[in-house]
Structures are given as structure tokens and as C-alpha cells.
Amino acid sequence: MDRFYSLDHASIDFHFRQTPRDFVVEEIPLYEFSGEGEHLVLCARKKNLSTLELVAIIAKFLGIQNKEIGYAGLKDKHAMTVQFISLHKKYEEKMESFSHDDIKILSKTYHNNKIKIGHLKGNRFYIKLKKVNPTAAKKIDEALKNIADFGMPNYFGYQRFGNDGDNHIDGEKVAKGEKKERNPKIKKLLISAYQSHLFNLWLSRRLEINTLIKNFSLRELESVLNMPNDEVTKLKAQKHPFKLISGDIMEHYPHGRLFDFDGSQEDISRFLARDITVTGLLCGKKVKPSSGIAGVIEKEFDDEINADGARRYAWIYPTEIEGRFKDMEAQYEMNFTLPKGSYATVLIEEIAKRKITE
């Protein structure tokens, strides 16, 4: 898809490749582990391995099933990542002799419960960009400041769509019963890719609307957007780069309940203050659709499929953002923290204003 971006600058030229030297991820647990209990919690560092491969290697070493090992999230394969896994305390002694070239156990503790999917607060990233000249470095500085001030769109990254980037095509067929997939995990993965694809298309459309609002007059926008003049006037007056539309479904940030945006100035101010944010649709059953003008836009990217739907933050706020330009090496180093479910590669693409997989 041709994606709209949130930042104004022209495309920035630099080289990025997802490798353990240039892409480092550290998981931030949802809560502090108790230090006691029947579950052994290991802090594991891996490189060039997916989380599922990490789990499979340890499970094979212990002679147990993969499902006996708990983890909070799937970490990138082509990276150096640190994450927490849990297993029963009875395997602690055997794990003392565990050794693998691409896995290192950094520390251990204990907890009362098994780690489950989603039990993480977010992830801390270290990224290195190469072939960066001084002019590009200044543009990256400005882009990072803008993201620190206003946040960024929460697209699904290219990792979501498979090696060839087309998992959503089969996902649509599976979701509509036009193609069978007997493996439940693969079926879920494919359907999720289709939901993610539609979400990305919707989010790109909303960013396109933001761009139009910024660059056209009220008179021009009324016909371009096919919206009432009073709605366009309200959108034009909003200070945030992502414009809230009547009928949007908001959610407290970084977690909380969903509620309808009614155009109130109070909610616009809360959005600017990062107390709430806007959500987008992951199509399916048992999910609340947006209404009003926002609902008309969302409906274009909705679909009836045999899967449960959900709502996802459309706009997020990276924190602890740091940037350093190393002139002699022509490199730019970044550190930042993202909430769970968000992609560092999306932030890099926002800065570059182009795909980074080409």
C-alpha cells in the first residue's frame, strides 16, 4: 500500500538494516515479579531467533512441550532482544547447564503466576541508522522532536504480513471461508494479517484527511472531504496533527475504557494532553464500530468475517526518546520506548517517510 505519513518533511535518505548490531529490543514487564512462587522467571537475551524459536529450543532441552513455557510477546527475529519467559520451578536445576550460542540467560527470579501473552508494559529500543549526513541528521532530530511532542500513527509493521508481505491476501480468503486452513495458529495469523491490512488502509486514509485539512482552505475542503462546513471548521481549528472526527471512538491512554467522541473541547484538550487517544477498527464480530462521520469513513475499511474484532490505538506516544548523531561514523543512534503492540520499524518509516524494506 502507498502509505500517508504524519510528518511534513521530505523523505530522508539513510541506510537501515534489521540486524542484532543495529536493532536491540528490551522488554518492559507489566509488573514487578514477586520474587517467590512456583514459576521460574528467566530474563533471556537472544539474537537471530524468534520468540517461538527461543521457546522451542529451551523446551527441547528440558524435554517438555512448548506450551509449558510462558512469554509476554513475540520479539523480532532479526535483532538482539531481551525478554522474560517463565517455566515451572522444578526445571531450575536443569536450566543451570543450558547453553546456546544465540541465547544467554541474564538473570532469574520467581513469580506466583505463569507469564502470559500481553503481560508486558512495552519495549525499549536501540536503533542504529547508517550513511547519515549532517543535513539528514538535523532532519531526524526535528522528526524525533515532533514525535516526542505529538506522538505518531500506530500502523502495523511489515513484520505483520509475512516475508512476502501478502499474508493478508490469504487471510481474507480464510476469514470469509473461501480457503481452508486446518492449522489453528496459522489460521489466526492469516486472519489477523487481513484485519491489520484493513486497519492500516483506514489509518492511512485518516492521515490523508489530516494532510488535506492542513493544506486546503475551508471552502475547498467542504467539497474535497464531502463533510458539512461546521465539521470541517472544527477539524481545521484542532491543534493536534491527528484530527478527531465526530463519532470517533476514544480510549483512555495508556489503557482504559472506550467512549464516543462528541466533538467536545474538553476531549480535544485531553487528547492534546495524552490522557486519551483515538482508536481504529480491527474488523470482526463483537466489536463496537464508530458512528457519525467517522463511522462513514471507517465503514469503507470494515468487513464481515468469521473472527472476533477489536479496537486498537490509532495514535500512540513514544517516550524516553533520545537521538545522537555520530558525524565521524556517519551514523545516527536512537533510543525510545513504545507501548506493547507497536512497531519500532513504523517509527523509523515515519522518520524516513518511505518504506525501509526496499
Query: Which residues are designated catalytic?
Result: 76
CA distance 267 to 250: 9
CA distance 244 to 248: 7
Asked if 84 and 29 touch (Cβ cutoff 8 Å), the reply is yes
Cell of 140: 531526524
* Cα 268 off chain centre by: 23
Please say whether the dihedral angle defined by the alpha carbons of residues 55, 59, 65 and 70, taken in this order, is positive or negative: negative
CA distance 286 to 278: 19
CA distance 208 to 219: 18
CA distance 114 to 34: 12
Asked if 41 and 110 touch (Cβ cutoff 8 Å), the reply is yes
Cβ burial, residue 1 (10 Å; 0-12/13-18/19+): exposed
Distances (CA, A) of 143 to 138, 156, 164, 352: 9, 20, 29, 9
Helix (H, G, I), strand (E, B) or coil at 266: helix
Cβ burial, residue 358 (10 Å; 0-12/13-18/19+): exposed
Furthest CA-CA distance within the chain = 73
Asked if 247 and 295 touch (Cβ cutoff 8 Å), the reply is yes
Asked if 39 and 111 touch (Cβ cutoff 8 Å), the reply is yes
CA distance 299 to 294: 9
* Cα 153 off chain centre by: 9
